[in-house]
Amino acid sequence: MASLNLQTAARMQSVLQEHIDRGRIPGAVALVSVGGRTELFAALGQQDPAAGTPMQPDSIFRIYSMTKPIVSLATLMLVEQGRLQLIDPVAKYLPQFAASNMRVAQDAGRQLVAVQRDATVHDLLRHTAGFTYEFLGDSAVHKQYGEVDIAARNRSNAEFCSVLASVPLENQPGSCWQYSRATDVLGALLEVVSGQSLGALLQQFILGPLGVKDTAFSVPASQQHRIAEPFALDPDSGKPVVMMDAREVPHFESGGGGLLSTAGDYTRFLQLMRSRGTLDGVRLASRKTIEWMTADHLGAIPANGDMLLPGHGFGLGFAVRTHAGLAPNAGSVGMYFWTGIGGTSFFVDPAEDLFAMLLTQAPGQRIFFRTLFRQLVYGALD
């Protein structure tokens, strides 16, 4: 069974602390579990650099897109109950997305063409529904996302979908993998299927049964002293760092990026994934559902952009490693992971019975540190 080498595990902390001392990130919480044992759990640096507050093991972070795997699991739990299927058209639940109502932008937005088929729930889960994210480029569709202020948090999930459906698709459904607003649409779809808000559904299906206390779409006043904050100015660009307001109760419960959480809370979710759907004697999803969720669902479907590295595919809410080589970092075939734009990341390696997580609030440095952390973790394995 794999384990962490104590000497190199200590180096992991010292390397992170060195970057904190150099002003690269304000602070971080790092966690590594091997064989079900927590072998590293360290809170380093500052929780709030403006106030000089030290980082705590239970500091609360904006986890952004680490919301997606949780919402994806809730979707598959509804599938297990027979309440929806992945082959269902999105329009069955959200009619504004019917192919007959949508168009795909082509020729730099100068031409709108018919949508060839309806996007499905499967497309939403694997990001092949034709949507995009406003920050991923400067195409005509990206610009329209900005013009309609697609990221506004003062709309309900249903209202968000109405606005999104008014903008053309970036790609034909099923034609390519494109990281996107698809999981936000999925959150609204789950509200229709379940008859309750996304927050209430997640609480009933996952957060409550896991016994977590600090994972939600906002932080209550009594716990706001625990919120981890970024530097006021990015250490590289010198520009102001803007993150979502963790204190505001949003109308938009973003299934793609709205949750806040702690290392302890998210560890409970990763423990559930490691044990393939059961934790502390409570079964939330079947073993086969977890295996299905963490398998590659792209196959020969091409990936747009550089977010999926060589040797990787995408499952139902996670990137999935498909080759031992090809990628410019270590890992095992079958490893799955995802990250948050605010600087949070995790990965689960079933072959090594390992999961690891790094939480920080440093949007501009996120790619460097999630890569560094993975190198440090694999470099510490015996």
Question: Which amino acid is residue 326, in one-letter code?
Answer: L
Look at the chain and report how many structural domains it folds into: 2
**Residue 355 structure tokens:** 């999961």
In a domain, 202, yes or no: no
Instruction: Tell me, yes or no, whether 282 and 318 share the same domain.
Output: yes
What confidence tens digit (pLDDT) does each residue in 226-238 have?
999 999 999 999 9
Residue 65 a catalytic site member? yes
Is residue 247 located within the same domain as residue 322?
yes
State what percent of residues in the chain have pLDDT above 90: 95
What is the structure's pLDDT at 107? Answer: 80
Range of the domain at 276: 6-67+212-379
On whether residue 222 sits in a domain, the answer given is yes
pLDDT digits (tens, 9 = 90+) for 306-344: 899 999 999 999 999 999 999 999 999 999 999 999 999
Per-residue pLDDT tens for 42-92? Answer: 999 999 999 999 999 999 999 999 999 999 999 999 999 999 999 999 999
68-71 contact pairs (CB < 8 A, 24+): 68/183, 68/255, 68/256, 68/257, 68/317, 68/338, 69/269, 69/273, 69/317, 69/318, 69/338, 70/202, 70/206, 70/259, 70/269, 71/183, 71/186, 71/187, 71/190, 71/198, 71/202, 71/255, 71/256, 71/317
* pLDDT > 80? residue 5: no
- The pLDDT tens digits for 24-34 are 999 999 999 99
Contact 363, 230 (CB under 8 A): yes
Specify whether 307 is located in the same domain as 175: no
> Rounded to two decimals, what is the model's pTM?
0.96
CATH number assigned to the domain comprising residue 157: 3.40.710.10
Q: What is the pLDDT of residue 197?
A: 98
**Domain identity same for 172 and 222:** no
Average pLDDT over residues 360-379: 96
Residues 222, 361: one domain? Answer: yes
Q: Which of the residues 65, 72, 218, 345 is marked catalytic?
A: 65
Residue 267 phi, psi dihedral angles, 5° rounding: -60, -35
Identify the band that residue 10 occupies on the pLDDT scale cut at 50, 70 and 90: confident
In a domain, 226, yes or no: yes
298 in the same domain as 374: yes
For residues 23 and 135, state if they share a domain. Answer: no
Question: Do 332 and 355 sit in the same domain of this protein?
Answer: yes
164 and 242, same domain (yes or no): no
Q: What is the mean pLDDT of residues 263-282?
A: 97
- Asked if the structure places residue 353 within a domain, the reply is yes
Confidence of residue 1 (pLDDT cuts 50, 70, 90): low
Same domain membership, residue 312 and residue 221: yes
pLDDT in tens, 164-219: 999 999 999 999 999 999 999 999 999 999 999 999 999 999 999 999 999 999 99
Q: Are residues 55 and 78 in the same domain?
A: no
Provide the mean pLDDT of the chain: 96
Same domain flag for 373 and 309: yes
Percent above pLDDT 70 for the chain = 100
Write the DSSP symbol of residue 279: E
